[in-house]
Amino acid sequence: MGPYQFAGGTAVVTGAASGIGEALAVQLAARGSHVVLVDRDKDRLGDVADRIRAAHPGLTLATHVAELSDDEQTAALAATLVAEHPETTLLVNNAGVALGGRLDQVSLEDFDWVMAVNFRAVVRLTHALLPVLKAHPGSHLVNVSSVFGIFAPAGQAAYSASKFAVRGFSEAVRHELADNGVGVTVVHPGGIRTRIAESARTGAGVSAEEYEQGREQFAKLLTMPPETAAAMIVTAIEKRRPRLLIGWSAKVPDVLVRLMPGSYWKLIARRAAPPKPPAS
């Protein structure tokens, strides 16, 4: 399979109103792709679309507002994308949400909310657009997992479950599409400065102290600009890379899990623990 051709193709990007999705939309348009942008935030999505239209007036651009945690809205979106954008050659399932708290601290409703956005929407949109992608040999599919799709930290049962699911789903679909001229890349970002922390939920059983400690530790990891991550994803698409690890915070855990598959958490937890106060 040769390099992916951006110019003249049409890319569908979910979670396009901010973060990696926004940066991807901008960079794909700069490569000559027509873009179809999806997000639940109508105002932010409109701002992104306006900037791209101003910079690339010759490209076709469409926006769709949808809440991917709502299965009915996701199903309607999938049908609309197939009907209105049969020329699609690239699907980027980027939208995601987070939930903090141990399994006994979160509700099943919140757990299902994470799975709906992070996994079920990925499956539903991919399933709907597969015939479209297969109709255009040379097309490509990108599913954004996470470093938490490589290792599973305590307090992230729902998020890790969703991102491990994306990883397994993507690998199976890659093998299924190998003879159809459609490439598949699964992306594992590490610490990228996005708005996912702002939209994250916290389990009702999480104390204020636990929440603040977790927020501070999480914030320390969010160092890479989304534009840098997006550029790496664009390169991975062009080169048909099956797997992309973004940043040291994804590459180091990947090695650690390979070396210590059953005991990596002991080492990670020890390094992540706050320092103890000196003895008096």
CATH number at residue 102: 3.40.50.720
What is residue 224's predicted lDDT score, i.e. its pLDDT? 78
Least confident of 16-25, 106-115, 260-269: 260-269
What is residue 271's predicted lDDT score, i.e. its pLDDT? 62
pLDDT above 50 for 274 = no
In the residue annotation, 264 being an active-site residue is answered as no
Whether 255 is in a domain gets the answer: yes
What is residue 253's predicted lDDT score, i.e. its pLDDT? 86
Catalytic residue among 4, 159, 211, 264, which? 159
Mean per-residue pLDDT, 130-149: 97
Closest CA to 233 of 183, 173, 185: 185
Whether 277 is in a domain gets the answer: no
pLDDT above 60 for 20 = yes
Mean per-residue pLDDT, 139-147: 97
Whether 53 is in a domain gets the answer: yes
Whether 127 is in a domain gets the answer: yes
Number of domains in the chain: 1
Look up residue 134 and give its two tokens: 């297969």
Instruction: Show the domain range for 156.
Output: 10-272
CB 150 within 8 A of CB 254: yes
pLDDT above 50 for 60 = yes
Whether 279 is in a domain gets the answer: no
What is residue 198's predicted lDDT score, i.e. its pLDDT? 58
Q: How far apart are CA 173 and CA 169, in angstroms?
A: 6
Whether 5 is in a domain gets the answer: no
Q: How many CA atoms lie within 13 A of 144 on its CB side?
A: 27
Q: How far apart are CA 118 and CA 204, in angstroms?
A: 21
pLDDT digits (tens, 9 = 90+) for 84-107: 999 999 999 999 998 888 999 999
pLDDT category at 194 given cuts 50, 70, 90 is low
% of the chain beyond a pLDDT of 90: 74
- Tokens 């400065």: give the residue: 193
Mean per-residue pLDDT, 97-118: 93
pLDDT above 50 for 123 = yes
pLDDT above 60 for 277 = no
Whether 1 is in a domain gets the answer: no
Whether 72 is in a domain gets the answer: yes
pTM of the predicted model as reported, rounded to 2 decimal places = 0.90
pLDDT digits (tens, 9 = 90+) for 216-269: 555 556 667 899 999 999 999 999 999 999 988 889 889 999 999 888 888 877
CB 63 within 8 A of CB 37: yes
Average pLDDT, the chain: 89
The answer for residues whose C-beta is within 8 angstroms of residue 47's C-beta and 6 or more apart is 17
